[in-house]
């Protein structure tokens, strides 16, 4: 870096790629956790009937991640802002799923261990959504040169849409 003295945009690209790799590593860790917990749920002597509850959350998070990576590949700030804004839906859905699982705990206390596993899976999915938002913030940094990591989404929307 010192010898080549990259221009501002090239340096932002390097920094963004390093951060992207870090986010993808963390996403992989969360995915591994989901796989491990799903295996434990499948091998449970009394598999719970509520394991399908997080599927909608997972589909939303998968869409976010796909959108974030697409925005990064195309350097599309508007798409990145849109994906980052969808994190509020994921957070709300995670909270709703947690409340639903608490209801299941009250109805069937013997399934507490499995319900916790499902909740941990949902939490990992929610974290993947947060990492997708971080990727979107990197797109904005790369294209616009503005660090928006600590800005509320409404301020980001107002500034870049």
> 87 near 64, Cβ under 8 Å?
yes
* Local structure of 26: helix, strand or coil: helix
Q: CA–CA separation, 126 vs 124, rounded Å?
A: 5
H/E element holding 2?
none
- C-alpha 46/C-alpha 76 separation (Å) is 47
pLDDT at res. 63: 97
CB 71 within 8 A of CB 136: yes
pLDDT at 50: 63
pLDDT in tens, the chain (161 residues): 777 777 888 889 999 999 999 999 999 999 999 999 999 988 887 766 666 678 899 999 999 999 999 999 999 999 999 999 999 999 999 999 999 888 888 888 888 888 899 999 999 999 999 999 999 999 999 999 999 999 999 999 999 98
Which pLDDT score is estimated for 49? 66
pLDDT of residue 51: 60
Q: What is the pTM of this model?
A: 0.91
The residue whose two tokens read 């449970």 is 44
- Do the beta carbons of residue 104 and residue 111 sit within 8 Å? yes
Whether 149 and 100 have beta carbons less than 8 Å apart is answered as no
- 79: tokens are 């798409």
């Amino acid at each position: 870096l010192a010898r080549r003295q990259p221009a501002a945009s090239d340096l932002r690209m390097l920094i963004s790629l390093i951060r992207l790799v870090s986010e993808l590593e963390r996403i992989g860790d969360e995915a591994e956790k989901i796989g491990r917990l799903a295996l434990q749920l499948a091998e449970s002597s009394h598999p719970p009937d509520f394991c399908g509850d997080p599927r909608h959350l997972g589909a939303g998070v998968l869409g976010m991640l796909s959108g974030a990576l697409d925005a990064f590949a195309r350097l599309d700030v508007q798409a990145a802002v849109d994906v980052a804004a969808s994190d509020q839906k994921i957070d709300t859905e995670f909270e709703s799923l947690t409340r639903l699982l608490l209801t299941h705990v009250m109805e069937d206390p013997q399934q507490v261990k499995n319900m916790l596993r499902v909740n941990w899976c949902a939490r990992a999915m929610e974290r993947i959504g947060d990492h997708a938002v971080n990727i979107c913030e990197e797109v904005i940094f790369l294209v616009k040169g503005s660090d928006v990591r600590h800005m509320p989404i409404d301020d980001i929307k107002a500034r870049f849409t």
